[in-house]
Amino acid sequence: MQIVCILLAEERIIVYALNIFTGTWLEAVPFFVLGVLFSAVVAVFIPDGFIQRIFPRNTFAGIIFGVIGGFLLPVCDCASVPVYRTLVKKGIPLPAAAAFLTAAPAVNPVVMLCTWYAYGGNIRIVISRTLLGMLCSVLTALTFIGTRQETQYSEKYRFRIQRENTGCLITGRNSFSEKLSAVLVRSRQEFLTAGVWQTAGIAIATVFQVWMNRTGVFAAGSFPRNSVLPSGGNVITAILGMQGLAYCLSLCSTSDAVICSVIGKNLPPAAQLAFLVFGPMMDIKNTILLSGMCSFRLAVRLAVTAFMICFLVMLAVSSVGGEAALL
């Protein structure tokens, strides 16, 4: 009875959480489905070894190639993870794939346009976000040089991939209609495999948003209350706070600029850019999705590495007095 009373009293919170969960899922799943479809097309239609042959052998050139690929492929963070996994399976070196994974959600033309709109036509913030995003992606990718791909995946993941590949329908057929059917099958299996983690990630991000709404740190649909966010005087706290906020909110990279322009209005430019650069690279949703589709170790390593690199880059820019040029 007590639980029922509590639930009735908290009905608005439940409805709020339902709305956030449903909205985030409806926003994320179409692009996630596009990502698994694209990765299925790459897996079925592109022969093994083809990408390895055309890919630059030089590691650094490969990383740049990955960043450019991320720029040309306007996918959000939901779609980049399945594509990343397929690229790695096709033999792309891990550093280049990591560069693609971290660059694609932040430095594509759609995100640049949304940032321009959110900041009232301020082109400097667009250029700053794009260039700093590329820099952070390259630096993150460089940390994966020398890492063997096999060490990044768990036994369970390797077994799962083996199970997905069983059945001659998946690859190897020559008929176009059979390949199309294989694309549908493979994309569905990948969706089912990753859907668990996608849903879990969205649920956890929803919990964080509801908690932040209750505590007043961030409230969707209301005026921002900056009482809990770090004040503009302390750059280090501001950058760390905004990066943490970006990680927990798990906002789409096409809408985070609007939120940042509101909540970060009184914060240093470096802190705002930390939100805009780190958020698309890594958040709760991505971490959980990556840990499910690849391995927990890889997800944690990528999240921690990206966090530290973004923090150091923004701190360096702030320290050398480059903030005036950022916004």
Partner 1 sequence: MKKNGQLAGIAIRAFLFGFLGLLLVRIAVDGISRYFVVPRLSPFIAGTGFLFLLWALQDIYILSGFGHSAEYGFTGYTAFLPLAVFCMVMILAAVAVVRKKNTVAWISPAEYIKPKPVSGPVTENGLKTLIKKYPESRIAEEEKAADSSSASNSGMLVVHTLKTDSGKLLEGYYPETGKIVISDTDMAGWITEIAEHTQQYTGWTVSMKGQVVMDPSIFEPGTFTPARQLMTCCVADLSVIGLTCLYDAKGPFRMLIRPDEWIQVTGILKQGSFRGDPEPQVLCTSIEKAQPPAVPYVYP
Q: Binders of partner 1: how many residues, by CB under 8 A? A: 57
- Using the contact rule CB under 8 A, the part of the chain among 13-21, 38-46, 86-94, 311-319 near partner 1 is 13-21
- Shortest Cβ distance from residue 29 to partner 1 (Å)? 6
Residue 40's closest CA among 87, 99, 103, 105? 87
Distance CA 279, CA 275 (A): 6
Residue corresponding to tokens 């692009």: 31
Give the count of beta carbons closer than 10 Å to the beta carbon of residue 90.
19
What does each C-alpha distance from 76 to 20, 196, 216 come to in angstroms? 18, 19, 28
Where does residue 113 rank: exposed (0-12), middle (13-18), buried (19+ CB within 10 A)?
middle
Nearest CA to 85 out of 157, 28, 156 is that of: 157
CA distances in angstroms from 21 to 1, 8, 55, 97, listed in the order given: 27, 19, 39, 30
The verdict on 188 binding partner 1 (CB under 8 A) reads yes
**Span interacting with partner 1, options 199-207, 268-276, 296-304, 312-320, rule CB under 8 A:** 199-207
Q: Under the criterion CB under 8 A, does residue 178 sit at the interface with partner 1?
A: no
Contacts of 184 (CB under 8 A, 6+ apart): 40
Q: Which is nearer to partner 1, 103 or 251 (CB)?
A: 251
Question: Is residue 223 a contact residue for partner 1 (CB under 8 A)?
Answer: yes
Hey, what amino acid is at 44? V
Tokens of 56: 């630059």
What does the alpha-carbon distance between residue 248 and residue 207 come to, in Å, rounded to a whole number? 9
Q: Least distance from C-beta 190 to partner 1, angstroms? A: 10
| Position 60 contacts partner 1 (CB under 8 A) | no
Binding to partner 1, residues 92-151 (CB under 8 A): 114, 117-118
| 196 lies in the binding site for partner 1 (CB under 8 A) | yes
Q: How far apart are CA 182 and CA 186, in angstroms?
A: 6
Judged by CB under 8 A, does residue 73 bind partner 1? no
Residue 2 vs 166, nearer CB to partner 1: 166
Supply the minimum distance, in Å, between the C-beta of residue 317 and partner 1: 25
Interatomic CA distance for residues 186 and 40, integer angstroms: 6
Closest distance of CB 251 from partner 1, Å = 6
Q: Which of residues 236-275 bind partner 1 (CB under 8 A)?
A: 249, 251-252, 254-256, 258-259, 262
Is 181 a residue that touches partner 1 (CB under 8 A)?
A: yes
Which CB atom, from 65 or from 197, has the smaller least distance to partner 1?
197
The minimum distance between CB 274 and partner 1, in angstroms, equals 18
**Minimum CB distance to partner 1 smaller for 23 or for 322:** 23
Q: Work out which of 168, 228, 304, 325 binds partner 1, going by CB under 8 A.
A: 168
SS3 121: coil
Would you say 157 and 290 are in contact if contact means Cβ atoms under 8 Å apart?
Answer: no
Choose the stretch contacting partner 1; rule: CB under 8 A; options: 83-91, 94-102, 190-198, 309-317.
Answer: 190-198
Query: Under the rule (CB under 8 A), what is the footprint of partner 1?
Result: 15, 18-27, 29-31, 33-34, 37, 114, 117-118, 163-170, 181, 184-185, 187-189, 192-193, 195-196, 198-200, 205, 209, 220-223, 225, 249, 251-252, 254-256, 258-259, 262
